Chains A and B, each alone.
Chain A
Amino acid sequence: MRAYLDPILALVWKDILLELRTKDIVVSVLVFSLLVIVVFNFAIEPSPANVGIVAPGVLWIAYIFGGVLGLTRSFGLERDSGNLRGLMLSPVSRDAIFFGKMLANFLFMMLVELMVFPVFAVLFNLPLWQPELLPIAMLATLGISTIGTLFSAMAVSTRAREVMLPLLFLPAAVPIIIAAVETTGLVLREQELTDLAAWLPLMAAFDAVFLVVCPVAFHFVVED
């Protein structure tokens, strides 16, 4: 088990170290997400009547489209100086490489989400402390980073990878995005949290499917 986990943790350590040096992913995703929230805030003028309806969509648009930027960069930096080949030459299974990259993407996306949420809450006059959103964000981000990592690896070999990634990723991520928007809406509208019981298992089920299918598909993506 440790032999399997070590390379995964090594990849995460390497990606965190690179991010601390370059700040490429977190800064670009953070700036993009904040811009989306600010622009929507001016465009829709949130009021107590509409905030519960529009705010969940705005929040997840900011997270998802910002996340696409980070996902593009994720395998881009591996491809740039042939490092993807370096990873493939390591005596570790392809799925360990997949999980290492996926875990790093998950951590970066969660970090940005945690940084963006307070700004969102202030601009849309919502309570800052909403612990019910944490499991929703974690489940949604897990699914998004899992499927996003696969499509990032797929798109990085194509000529127009910045265009290709959202084209591949967004349709596949739709079930998770819908569930995330619906559950976030329930929390922000302060509706009965028992309604969450219908959505959270659905998200967990999609996550489970993605976690099984994506590492297997990754083998075929990186094989020549």
Chain B
Amino acid sequence: MPRSSRGDKQKMAQSPSQLPPAIAARGLHKSYGRAGVLRGLDLDVPWGEVVIVLGSNGSGKTTLMRVLTTLTRPDNGSVLIGGLDPHKLGRQVRSQIGVVTHDPLLYDDLTGYENLRFVTRMFGLDRADERIEVAAERLGLSARLHQRVGTLSHGLKKRFTIARALLHDPKILLMDEPESGLDQESQTTLDTLIRDPATSFRSVLITTHSPERAAAVGDRVAILAKGLIAHTEPIGRDTDPDAIRRLYAEHTGPGQ
């Protein structure tokens, strides 16, 4: 069952299903030179849902993420993030989204605390120390806060990257293959964070090539192939990853 059906949603004055989607992309085109990466992509991410964009290498996942995070302007098509056009109201959109990318977005020569403190200042956040403490505790980083990031393992850096994305309590989380470099324990922590009932109104878009990750946290899977969303389907936490794998093969064909 999609997470949006849980009881705590009833706290919302308006049901998420009545609201315009957290992310609405229509006819997105993006090319680099002659190579078309996105070719008329349509995608909706409803409020409160975890949508998994499943795609192979080179299918356009990272380009899609760059467009949604205001870093790249599409050649054609429109995007609304939280009802706002990211390329006209970029600052407002960026204050609503938390982003986890392949890159750690951390300075190796600063400590974890200093990196997070810098982010709170760039986002103009109050109660900075409290926010840092909470984020570090949730990700099991309290003991590492005053260690230089350059001395941390890839997995710990990734956890700091996730903490960085959560500091401003974003309404929408955009995560580009967040599982890469995480051990099993960290993945479980991440899953718990994504499905945290306290943030059930938060929408999450995750790109991945792993059906196991889709089955672990997704409410809906969107299959990305050749720059288009080939198919979307609601899934539940008890969905068999093999079923997602079959679904993927069915809509992308062999070799994708």
Interface of A with B (CB < 8 Å)?
Answer: 3, 6-7, 9-11, 13-14, 17-18, 21-22, 77, 81-83, 85-93, 223-224
Contacts and interface: CB of A to CB of B under 8 A. Distances in A.
A93 B95 CA distance: 12
Contacts of B106: 81, 83, 86
A7 B106 CA distance: 17
Contacts of A82: 101-105
A138 B168 CA distance: 38
Contact of A81 (B97, B103, B121, B122): B103
A91 B92 contact: yes
A18 B107 contact: yes
Given A7-B124, A223-B73, A86 B105 contact: yes
Contact of B124 (A6, A81, A87, A88): A6
Given A17-B114, A82-B104, A87-B122, 16 more contacts: A6-B121, A10-B121, A14-B107, A18-B107, A77-B107, A81-B104, A81-B108, A82-B103, A83-B107, A88-B70, A89-B70, A90-B122, A91-B92, A91-B94, A92-B122, A224-B73
B110 A85 contact: no
B144 interface: no
Nearest to A2: B124
B72 interface: yes
B69 interface: yes
9 tightest A-B CB contacts, nearest first: A82-B103, A86-B105, A10-B121, A91-B95, A90-B122, A91-B94, A224-B72, A21-B109, A91-B91
B104 A14 contact: no
Contacts of A87: 122
B71 interface: yes
Interface of A, helix, strand, loop or mixed by DSSP: helix
Contacts of B73: 223-224
Contacts of B103: 81-83, 85-86
Contacts of A21: 109-110
Contacts of A85: 71, 101, 103, 105
B101 A7 contact: no
B123 A90 contact: yes
A83 B105 contact: yes
A211 B62 CA distance: 35
Nearest to B87: A223
B65 to A, nearest CB: 11
Given A92-B91, A93-B91, A7 B121 contact: yes
A93 B89 CA distance: 11
Nearest to A222: B71
A77 B107 CA distance: 8
B118 A14 contact: yes
Given A3-B124, A6-B121, A6-B124, A89 B105 contact: yes
B99 to A, nearest CB: 5
Contacts of A10: 118, 121-122
Contacts of B91: 91-93
A88 B71 contact: yes
B89 to A, nearest CB: 10
A18 to B, nearest CB: 5
